[in-house]
Copies of this chain bind each other. A is one copy, B any other.
Amino acid sequence: MTTNPHESIHYPEINLPPRILLGPGPSMVEPRVLKAMATPLVSHLDPTFLELMNNTQALLRYVFETENKLTFPVSGTGTAAMEAAIANLVEPGDPVLVCVNGYFGLRLADLAERYGGQVGTITCPWGEVFSPGEVNDALNQRPAKVVAIVHAETSTGALQPLDEIVKIIHQHDAIVIVDAVTSLGGLPVRVDEVGIDLCYSGSQKCLSCPPGASPITLGPKALEKLRKRKTSVPDFYFDLRLLEKYWGEERAYHHTAPISTIYALYEGLRVVAEEGLENRWARHRHNAEYLWSGLEDLGLELLVTESYRIPTLTTVRIPAGVIDLEIRRSLLKEYNIEISGGLGELAGKIWRIGLMGYSSRKENILILLAALGKML
């Protein structure tokens, strides 16, 4: 190995193209949030940082619409929050029901198995959603202690109604884990009103922050399950009983929080609160409708029935004869626009277009529609 001081000449300064991020995440980061990222650090145990932690938690309760005390950002990206949920609430041997109608449902099932759950799944076609009756039947046939379901399936664009399903899950004495990665901050999640026991999300979707600090909230039943565990959580980094002491009143050192990313999340949440949740939901809805009608005007077919469409992530069928990668590469190369292809069984069949947070702006829709219009 060389220790030559001139080693760096091979590594250029960061100089990246100005992407218009209209994929399934990350979304474009709010300029105010980028500025917050450049703030010099205080220590993760500095009294001023502890206060910032408190305020960040309060703002997270606001966007989750919850009074849950244990509400905080997990020190990792969305998958880390998903893993924290499963690792803590699924004990070896626990019967678990996972509702799988897309890639992230599959990931939840994989995780529940890794942590020793006796996993049963119900499925429906990708792009469709589950009815309360289907969940009820599944739990009648095979009781479960934990049910995991995705609110807004990033891989399909389908929005799962939750109110009735959560009631049914509770009637079966199970607790429910809800993946709100693509919904939180872009459409109502209503943790307390719906009765969600554990909900998690990501920072880089509708909150328009950089990835790396992922919101999670636990209600009383989830906490009770956590406290009654017979075995220790295998993970240390995601052990909620330890994290509760760090993010709770004790502030006991557990790990070094991603300080700058917490700054960013705090600033991003301030932006959300200033806009107001209801205004923000309305903006996402309004812009989504504008996109949908524009895509239909281009002769494109949307994958998901309008009543179950996620306003933050639209899926559109790739027309026959059109080569997926060719279009996406041209969009990126010629117009700096990023949209995404399908995942899993929808790979090559759909495009995924995100309008999340700061990316959800009319000008972005206009340029995308114009570019697609030229190409198709």
Contacts and interface: CB of A to CB of B under 8 A. Distances in A.
A55 B11 contact: yes
Contacts of A59: 11
A78 interface: yes
A48 B210 contact: no
A188 to B, nearest CB: 10
Nearest to A255: B79
A25 interface: yes
Contact of A114 (B114, B234, B258): B234
A62 interface: yes
A23 B48 contact: no
Contact of A276 (B7, B192, B232, B233): B7
Contacts of A44: 26, 211
Given A16-B39, A26-B44, A256-B25, A62 B1 contact: yes
A48 B29 CA distance: 18
Nearest to A274: B8
A41 interface: yes
A122 to B, nearest CB: 21
A202 B259 CA distance: 13
Contacts of A35: 38
Contact of A41 (B13, B19, B42, B66): B19
A233 to B, nearest CB: 8
A95 interface: no
Size class of the contact patch on chain A: 35 or more
A212 interface: yes
A269 B47 CA distance: 30
Contacts of A110: 236
A35 to B, nearest CB: 6
Given A21-B43, A38-B35, A80-B76, A261 B258 contact: yes
Given A42-B16, A76-B75, A77-B75, A26 B259 contact: yes
A260 B263 contact: no
Interface in A259-277: 259-261, 263-264, 266-267, 269-270, 273-277
Given A25-B256, A256-B25, A7 B62 contact: yes
A227 to B, nearest CB: 18
Contacts of A28: 40-41
A110 B4 CA distance: 40
A168 interface: no
A48 B83 contact: no
Contacts of A276: 3-5, 7
Contact of A258 (B48, B67, B77, B83): B77
A156 interface: no
Residue of A47, A59, A107, A273 with highest tally of chain B CB at under 10 A: A273
13 contacts: A1-B192, A8-B274, A11-B270, A21-B43, A26-B43, A26-B259, A46-B338, A76-B258, A77-B255, A79-B237, A87-B234, A204-B256, A258-B258
Top 3 closest pairs, chain A to chain B, by CB = A5-B276, A212-B258, A8-B273
